[in-house]
Structures are given as C-alpha cells and as structure tokens.
C-alpha cells in the first residue's frame, strides 16, 4: 500500500519495535558499562538509568500523541512546523539531524574498534595520528566498508532494511539472555559493591549519557509514513520501546557488576564482554557477547540511517535545505540522495580514529536534547491552541507531562555547558556543534515565511504529495 507521501507502508508491529529498540541499544552497553559502574557504583548507575528512563518516557509521551495525530515522514519537523512555524521546525529538525548523523558516524567508528577485541592484530598500514590515536588503513577500511553495505541496504528499500533489523535485534536479545543466565548462575552479589560511588556527581556523569543512549524511539515518527498500523498503536509502541530500552540498560549494569570486581571493571576495555567470559568461565562467551555488541551497532546504525534520511527528506520538501535531499527513488521509494549523503559522512568518520567516539556522543547529545525541548514546547502549544485536533493517542495529564518534559530537557541541556559535568570538550566538540549551526544559520536566513498553525503543516503535506507524484 502506498502512503500519501509516496513511501510504501510495510512496517508492522514487530518491525516498529525492532526499529526503535534496536536504535536505542547500540554499542554503549558493551564498552561503557565499566565506566558507568565506576563513576556511580552499581545502584548509582541503575538510579541514573531509572531517572533517565523517566525523563525520556515523559518526552516519549509527547511524541506518542503527536505521531498519532500527524503520522508523516519527518516526525518532529511536522510537529514544530504546525506549532511554532518554519524557524521552530528548522531548529528541531536541524538539531535532530546532527544527533542522528552523530550516531550513524559513531557506529562506523565503534564497529572497527569492536572488531579489535576479536582480532587484536588487525591493525596494518598506519595512516596518521588523531588526538594521540594512530589510525590504520585496515581499521578504517572495516568502518568504511560497513558504511557502504548499510547504506546500500537502505537505498534499495525499507523492507530489506526492516528484515535485517529484526534478525539483528533477535540475535542481540539472545546474547543478552545468555549474559543474564550467566549472572543468575555464576554472578556474585559481593562483586556488585560498592552500591554507590562518586555521590551525586557520579550519578550525573552517567545521566548525561542518557540522551545519546536513548535516542532512537523518535525514529518511529520519522518512519511514520511507512508504518502499517492504527495510529493509536504507533503511539503506544513508542512508549513501550522506551521502557524496553531502560530495562535493558539496567539489566546490563546489574549483570556486568555481578561478574567482575571493581578492580577488574576498572582495568577492562570491554567490561560487558569480559564479564560474560568470567561468568561462563570461557573466552568464547566473551566473543559471543561482542558479536551481540556488533548486532547492536548495526541495528542502531540501520535505524538512524532510516530516521536521518526521512528527516532530511521532510526538510527538503519544505524548502529548508536543498531540494536534492527530497527526491524519492522512483523504484525503491526511499530518499536515496539523503541516504547517500549520510552514508558518505559515516564512511568518513573512521578516518578520524577512536577519539571521534567521545566527540560524537557529546556533540550529538546536546543537539538531541534541543530537539526534545522544541517537541515538548510544540506539544504544549498544540494542546492549548488546537484542543480539538484529532489525537488517536492522547497522553494522560498532557499539560503536566509536557511541562515536565520541557523542564527536564532544559535540565539535561544545562549539563553540557561549560563548568558542568558533561561540558563539551574544547575545541573538538564545540567545533562540531558550532560548524553545524553556522551552516544551519545560512539555511535559516533563506527560509520562506511560514507561520505557525495547521495551514502551514497542511501546505507541507500538499507539497510532499505533489513532489511524490500525487500518490495517495
């Protein structure tokens, strides 16, 4: 069945859950768990993920209502356009595009870094040194080759990308189940001590990673034009996916803490894999966990490539960025040009080496929070100005939830400012964010005058339909 926007509606319930859950469960749970526990302690890290899960769930509830009311490709682009006008829509969309692209590029760097665990002698052909890290040709080639494969998979259609996503998520869940079984049979409560370390700053150090780790539920709104489900169900699935991701991260913290002592965690580069090997007393089980991490990399990579390309498509159709990004492939019905552009950026990321991992997490994280803030404001504006708008999924206590989402998003954003625990690193992270918004300022200057309101959003939908050949 073809959608009103020229996309093909093929995604069912399982596809949607796999897309969102796989997006949120990337590689951080393999490589960063030791740092989380070391910073906050076992229960401190759990506390951070509970708090972070609540914050993201509140944001997710605003998304759930809006995606059910406006199920169009581009998600928050439409919500902000209708509520705040073209400039508000640009801020939300441009911020989220950097967030998405940063995740895609992150995974392109994380994949070769993960392969090193399985093949530590793979480095050959020294290229250059970036921030003290030596970049080798073979290492970079793994990330570049994977970028080409994942981009090509998405280019030929949403159905192949969705099937790939589901298979990879099932493997990821299987690896998690083996880790849990090992913890229940061979874990030690004594290893889970200390429960808290670092006090409040320790918890904040973990909490600040939440925007980057949980971003992904919002891929559902981006692909809404390709979902074949009642709109009310789409909103519910979005909230369910956030709860599943929070449960996953909490489970990983508890199981890894039960498998390694504090000293072993501090000395481990891939704490989750080393914990798996210790719990099962087998290096092969550690390799299995790494393969699960690789599954997480590709599910996140795949999902965010889908989300970023659809968001850029919506921006192009509304004339916020060049029209080249808004062209659908005549056969595959995918935004092929946007996919090729994002794929090229991800292929370039491995050339900057491992330091790019940290830079992308922080630079992407603050922009994701900005987008969440704008969506929360859009939710409140539309509740007030358009109370009669059709809302198949209606968030309970809407003004309270929306207000909380806005306040908490501001709180998360503050953590990235100078002097705060997650202050952006100078000059690398500030350069990424600064250059991105300098480019954005050029586009904002060119924006057509589109005021807030339903008429603006309807004009965009009509433009999309016209650009897509009038398919309805």
Query: Hey, what's the torsion of the CAs at 13, 68, 236, 86, to 10 degrees?
Result: 110
Q: Residues near 440 by Cβ (< 8 Å), separated by ≥ 6?
A: 90, 94
Taking Cα atoms as reference points, which of 222, 220, 265 lies closest to residue 40? 265
pLDDT one-digit tens code per residue, 16-27? 999 999 999 877
- Rounded to whole angstroms, what are the CA distances from 233 to 1, 15, 158, 187, 237? 18, 13, 20, 39, 6
pLDDT, residue 448, reads: 54
Q: Is the Cα torsion angle 66, 244, 361, 414 positive or negative in sign?
A: positive
pLDDT, residue 452, reads: 52
pLDDT one-digit tens code per residue, 157-201? 888 999 999 999 999 999 999 999 999 998 888 888 888 988 888
> Which string of b and e fits 27-62 if b means at least 16 CB within 10 Å?
bbbbbbbbbbbbbbbbbbbbbbbebbbebbbbbbbb
pLDDT, residue 182, reads: 93
pLDDT, residue 291, reads: 92
Q: Residues near 363 by Cβ (< 8 Å), separated by ≥ 6?
A: 98, 102, 424, 429, 432, 433, 436
Which residue's structure tokens are 């040194």?
129
pLDDT, residue 363, reads: 78
Taking Cα atoms as reference points, which of 223, 208, 253 lies closest to residue 46? 253
Alpha-carbon distance of 225 to 162, in angstroms, equals 14
> What is the overall mean pLDDT for the chain?
85
HSE-up of residue 418 (Cα within 13 Å, Cβ side): 3
CATH topology of domain 13-449: Amino acid/polyamine transporter I (1.20.1740)
Highest mean pLDDT pick, 63-77, 120-134, 274-288, 310-324? 274-288
User: At what angle are helices 137-155 and 158-186 packed, to 10 degrees?
Assistant: 120
The band of 468, judged by pLDDT with boundaries at 50, 70 and 90, is: very low
Query: Hey, what's the torsion of the CAs at 217, 32, 98, 410, to 10 degrees?
Result: 70
pLDDT one-digit tens code per residue, 114-144? 888 888 888 888 888 887 788 889 999 999 9
Share of the chain above pLDDT 90, in %: 34
HSE-up of residue 156 (Cα within 13 Å, Cβ side): 9
pLDDT, residue 73, reads: 79
State which H helix or E strand residue 128 sits in: strand 126-130
Neighbour count for residue 125 (Cβ, 10 Å):
11
Neighbour count for residue 148 (Cβ, 10 Å):
14
Asked if 307 and 220 touch (Cβ cutoff 8 Å), the reply is no
pLDDT at position 357 over 80: no
pLDDT at position 456 over 70: no
Asked if 383 and 399 touch (Cβ cutoff 8 Å), the reply is yes
Q: Where are the domains of the chain?
A: 13-449
- Count of helix runs (H) and strand runs (E) in the chain: 20, 2
Neighbour count for residue 180 (Cβ, 10 Å):
16
pLDDT, residue 20, reads: 92
Give the residue, 76 or 244, on which the prediction is more confident: 244
Q: Which of 34-43, 116-125, 274-283, 416-425 has the lowest mean pLDDT?
A: 416-425
Give the residue, 318 or 337, on which the prediction is more confident: 337
Instruction: Please give the backbone phi and psi of residue 127, each rounded to the nearest 5 degrees, phi first.
Output: -100, -60
Share of the chain above pLDDT 70, in %: 92
CA 433 and chain centroid, separation: 17
Taking Cα atoms as reference points, which of 216, 156, 214, 159 lies closest to residue 17? 216
pLDDT one-digit tens code per residue, 232-247? 888 888 889 999 999 9
Alpha-carbon distance of 57 to 217, in angstroms, equals 10
pLDDT, residue 451, reads: 47
């Amino acid at each position: 069945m073809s959608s009103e926007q020229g996309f093909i509606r093929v995604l069912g319930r399982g596809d949607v859950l796999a897309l969102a859950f796989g997006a949120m469960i990337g590689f951080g749970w393999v490589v960063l768990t030791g740092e989380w526990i070391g910073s906050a302690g076992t229960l401190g890290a759990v506390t951070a993920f509970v708090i972070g899960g609540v914050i993201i769930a509140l944001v997710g509830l605003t998304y759930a209502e809006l995606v059910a009311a406006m199920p169009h490709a581009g998600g928050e682009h439409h919500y902000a356009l209708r509520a705040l006008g073209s400039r508000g829509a640009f801020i939300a969309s441009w911020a989220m595009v950097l967030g998405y692209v940063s995740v895609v590029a992150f995974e392109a760097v994380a994949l070769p870094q993960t392969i090193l665990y399985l093949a530590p002698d793979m480095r050959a052909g020294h290229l250059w040194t970036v921030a003290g890290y030596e970049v080798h040709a073979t290492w970079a080639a793994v990330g570049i080759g994977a970028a080409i494969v994942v981009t090509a998979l998405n280019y030929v259609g949403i159905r192949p990308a969705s099937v790939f996503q589901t298979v990879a998520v099932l493997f990821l869940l299987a690896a998690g189940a083996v880790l849990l079984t090992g913890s229940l049979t061979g874990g030690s409560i004594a290893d889970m001590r200390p429960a808290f370390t670092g006090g409040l700053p320790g918890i904040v150090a973990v909490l600040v990673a939440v925007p980057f780790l949980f971003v992904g539920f919002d891929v559902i709104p981006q692909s809404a034009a390709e979902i074949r489900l009642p709109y009310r169900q789409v909103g519910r699935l979005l909230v369910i996916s956030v709860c599943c991701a929070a449960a996953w991260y909490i489970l990983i913290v508890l199981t890894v803490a039960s498998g390694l002592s504090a000293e072993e965690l501090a000395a481990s580069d891939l704490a989750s894999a080393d914990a798996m090997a210790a719990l099962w007393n087998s290096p092969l089980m550690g390799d299995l966990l790494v393969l699960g991490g690789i599954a997480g990399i590709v599910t996140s990579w795949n999902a965010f490539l889908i989300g970023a390309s659809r968001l850029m498509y919506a921006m192009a159709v509304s004339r916020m960025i060049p029209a080249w990004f808004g062209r659908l492939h005549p056969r595959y019905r995918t935004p092929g040009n946007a996919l090729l552009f994002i794929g090229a950026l991800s292929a370039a990321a491995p050339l900057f080496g491992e330091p790019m991992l940290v830079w992308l997490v922080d630079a992407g994280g603050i922009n994701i929070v900005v987008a969440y803030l704008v969506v929360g404001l859009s939710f409140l504006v539309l509740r007030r100005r358009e109370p009669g708008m059709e809302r198949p999924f209606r968030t309970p206590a809407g003004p309270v939830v929306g207000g909380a989402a806005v306040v908490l998003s501001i709180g998360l954003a503050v953590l990235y400012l100078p002097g705060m625990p997650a202050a952006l690193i100078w000059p690398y992270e500030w350069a990424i964010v600064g250059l991105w918004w300098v480019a954005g300022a050029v586009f904002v200057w060119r924006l057509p005058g589109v005021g807030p309101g339903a008429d603006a959003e309807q004009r965009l939908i009509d433009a999309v339909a016209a650009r897509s050949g009038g398919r309805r």
